[in-house]
A and B are shown apart, each in its own frame.
Chain A
Amino acid sequence: MDTVSVKIPASPAYLQVVRLIASGLASRLGFNIDEIEDLKIGVDEMCAYLTGAQGRSGSLEITFEVDGDSLRINGSGDFEAGQKVRTNLTEFSRMILDTVVDKATLEQNGGRPKFSLEKSKVS
């Protein structure tokens, strides 16, 4: 299993970098363009919980794990104290994630909000 990780400021402006890495790795696995766009939607959806629309003070650490035909993306937020982060997915997010990726979880773990996404190549 190969791993790539990146640490970015917790701002929506940096999510483009995360999407590019995700799509680059997915492309290496031979994902088609629909699958790649879906993966990017999944990444955006999850990261949006961590960064919020306006960004937060702190950072996100995103790890990409390439495993056979599938890509797993784990993210966690390291924020300055006092910033409330929602860690239960809305019904709508659940629906989006169920459509675009194979597995998606969001939780509060050890004081940090964390997410995990997994998507395998279908075609």
Chain B
Amino acid sequence: MLEKSEIKELFQRYQEATSEAEKLRYREPLVTQYIGLVEFLARRFRNRGEPLEDLVQVGTIGLLKAIDRFDLEREVEFSTYVTPTVVGELKRHFRDKGWAMRVPRRLQELHLELRKIVGYLGQELGRSPTIAEIAEAASTSEEAVLEGLEIAQAYNFASLDAPIDTEDGGSTSFADQLGEEDGALANLEYRASLAPEMEKLPERERTILYLRFFKGMTQSEIADKLEISQMHVSRLLNRTLMKLREALEEE
């Protein structure tokens, strides 16, 4: 770890540097110094369906921007300055790049809000909430909620095979979590007419399909079991079904 005075000096040299090579030389130790902070901040955004390493990369862009823009004249520590820049970059990433198609910001924000409310209301009520209840909790109209739910399908969750982070900071996958059900999954493959297509599905998609259509669990129940949001279950399920329909068509 660098001392405060060393950091200050690096910034000074970085800003006075005249060549790219020289700039890079001073920037390097600064990046190393703060990469831990970036990782810490990026981790706060995990479980949103994007691999942590991608988030760290996005956060690092924020760090580089912050290093570029940092003004030594200001009486503020770089560590104070860098946090909002990195968080801002991560938020922008989810707002702009997380969507498979362009969705107005108003709806994107509504979607994130709804995701929270649906989960929380479900817990509170002990059952799946109605649209009216969600609208009231979100202080919005029922139309807006319905629109928000519909638009949720446009949200792009990067990799369906991505490992999920556990509470204790470790990592697991759906296959690990649901090992006991794999035997029954084999059954599903033979019963359905889409056997080869089904086999091609990622573990998690197959699992959700299985829980919904063979175990008869509701989307909310599946969400609880897999510790993801109901809206995420809905999205994965819809995407899977769409894929399977397309496969059927190609036969």
Residue ranges of A at the interface with B (Cβ–Cβ < 8 Å): 16, 19-20, 23-24, 27, 30-38, 40-41, 44-45, 48, 52-53, 90-92, 95-96, 99, 123
Contact = CB atoms under 8 A, between A and B. Distances in A.
Interface string B184-226: 0000000111100000000000000000110010111000000
Contact of A53 (B192, B234, B245): B245
Interface stretch (B43-51, B126-134, B166-174): B126-134
Contacts of B248: 90, 92
Given A44-B241, A91-B193, A92-B194, A30 B130 contact: yes
B238 A92 contact: no
Looking at chain B's contact residues, the main secondary structure is helix
A40 to B, nearest CB: 8
B194 A90 contact: yes
Interface stretch (B77-85, B142-150, B155-163): B142-150
B interface, size bucket: 35 or more
Given A37-B234, A48-B245, A90-B194, A27 B131 contact: yes
A20 B150 contact: yes
B246 interface: yes
Contact of B127 (A19, A20, A32, A96): A32
Interface of B: 118, 127-132, 134, 142-143, 146-147, 149-150, 191-194, 212-213, 216, 218-220, 230, 234, 237-238, 241-242, 244-246, 248-249
B17 to A, nearest CB: 53
A117 to B, nearest CB: 15
Nearest to A24: B146
Contacts of B150: 16, 19-20, 23
